[in-house]
Amino acid sequence: MSNFKEKLKKLLSYADVKINGNRPWDIQVHDDRFYKRVIVDGSLGLGESYMDGWWDCQKLDECIFRLCRADLKSKLKNNWKLLIALAISKLFSRQGKMRAVKNSKVVYDDIGLDLYQKMLDKYLQYTNGYWKNAKTIDEAQEAKLDLICRKIGLKPGMRVLDIGCGWGGFVHYAAKKYGAKAVGITLSREHAKYSKELCKGLPVEIRFQDYRDINEKFDCIVSVEMIEHVGPKNHRKYMEVAHRCLNDGGIFLLQTIGSNASITRADPWTDKYIFPGCVVPSIHQIGRAIDGLFVMEDLHNFGTDYEKTLAAWWNNFDKNYDKLKSKYDERFYRMWKFYLKGGAALVKSRTCQLWQIVLSKRGVLGGYTSIR
């Protein structure tokens, strides 16, 4: 055990994090099995041992920020478990049609709507908000929805497709505020049920449908943090679907969390507990997927806004936990804290980004005017 402890102490020293130190970002160890678990299982061991109460930290987000900024993953040798997982991810797609439905069920249907209603904004946006002029999460999410509508040039009567419509916030907003005719598709039955009820009386159609099965024309297309669930092996197909469904002269807006390097498999802890099958794309991967299909008109990086979004989600969840704890136990609470605080640390460290990318089929004549 002492050998694992010394290895971990040395590793953490690169991030200026100490074991049982007295600073807010130092790790307080409650179970000595923690050392071996982290050295052997990496981020999966770090997250699971936190869920199990083997360690704590006064400022968890600051601790993880320091670990990310120090790039400790590059200092850990790949273990056999990770090597096998990477090999499998290169050979097989984990986002086929049947698997995609299963992945969506884990993320959205198995976790109750009550949690998301207590945690998110009034539009139930489980994606980054736009905080340029916003002071609250509701303002930030409405600003994001309006920004998208303005970027795609949405006008009354236009037909817009939302690939991965969530709880229907965008299609509802586009129809009500801009007079658009909207179609939203999802692989979550809970999303579809809620969205249909939300959009009653509006020119909105909600479908339980895989993006690969769409074959009709739209004036503009939106996809907000959905491509992460598509998987690298399906990026090209995803873009081909968008291309065939977009009218000539139309705009396709893609919002995605972005990776600084091309990967084929998600962080093991996130993949197991939060977003199964989710892989964050890089600019290189997106570039290859749109090659010969789209012109990139605009790329807007507001990834640092995600720190505020995640902080707002955590504050809402933590504040309302007493109303939720009969259904979500202490281990879930610690898991959700590790997820939200860790996510905020990732964006603060600039380990990942948030891009809104505006695409056209053949280029906007005269040029596209960037909107911020």
Secondary structure in 3-state letters for 77-140: CCCHHHHHHHHHHHHCCCCCHHHHHHHHHHHHHCCCHHHHHHHCCCCCCCCCCCCCCCCCHHHH
In the chain the beta strands, taken as DSSP E runs, fall at: 28-29, 55-56, 159-163, 181-186, 204-208, 218-224, 246-259, 295-301, 352-360
Mean pLDDT of 237-247: 98
Count the alpha carbons within 13 Å of 73 in the hemisphere toward its beta carbon.
10
Q: What proportion of the chain, given as a percentage, has pLDDT over 70?
A: 90
Least confident segment among 75-79, 142-146, 267-271, 334-338: 75-79
User: What pLDDT is recorded for position 265?
Assistant: 87
Answer with the residue of higher pLDDT: 72 or 357: 357
191, HSE (Cβ side, Cα atoms, 13 Å) = 29
Report strand pairing: 352-360 vs 246-259: antiparallel
Q: Which two tokens stand for residue 268?
A: 């093991």
How large is the greatest C-alpha to C-alpha distance in the chain, in angstroms? Answer: 68
pLDDT for 310: 98
The alpha carbon of residue 343 and the mean position of all alpha carbons in its chain are separated, in whole angstroms, by 9
Q: What is the pLDDT of residue 97?
A: 54
From the list 193, 186, 140, 146, the residue with the least C-alpha distance to 316 is 140
Residue 72: per-residue pLDDT: 79
CA distance 171 to 360: 21
Mean pLDDT of 137-141: 98
What average pLDDT does the chain have? 92
- For position 92, what pLDDT does the model report? 54
CA distance 51 to 118: 22
124-138, 192-206, 260-274 — which is least confidently predicted?
Answer: 260-274
Q: Per-residue confidence at 71, pLDDT binned at 50, 70, 90?
A: confident
Whose CA is closest to 150, among 308, 358, 360, 366?
358
Contacts 24+ apart (CB under 8 A), 327-330: 327/112, 327/114, 328/115
Mean pLDDT of 70-81: 64
Q: Considering the domain 97-360, what is its CATH architecture?
A: 3-Layer(aba) Sandwich (3.40)
Q: What's the rounded Cα separation, in Å, for the pair 217 and 41?
A: 47
| pLDDT value at 273 more than 80 | yes
Q: Specify the pLDDT at position 83.
A: 41
Per-residue pLDDT tens digits for 310-362: 999 999 999 999 999 999 999 999 999 999 999 999 999 999 999 999 999 99
pLDDT score for 103:
47
Q: What is the mean pLDDT of residues 241-256?
A: 98
Q: Do the Cβ atoms of 210 and 97 come closer than 8 Å?
A: yes
**What are the residue ranges spanned by the domains of the chain?**
2-77, 97-360
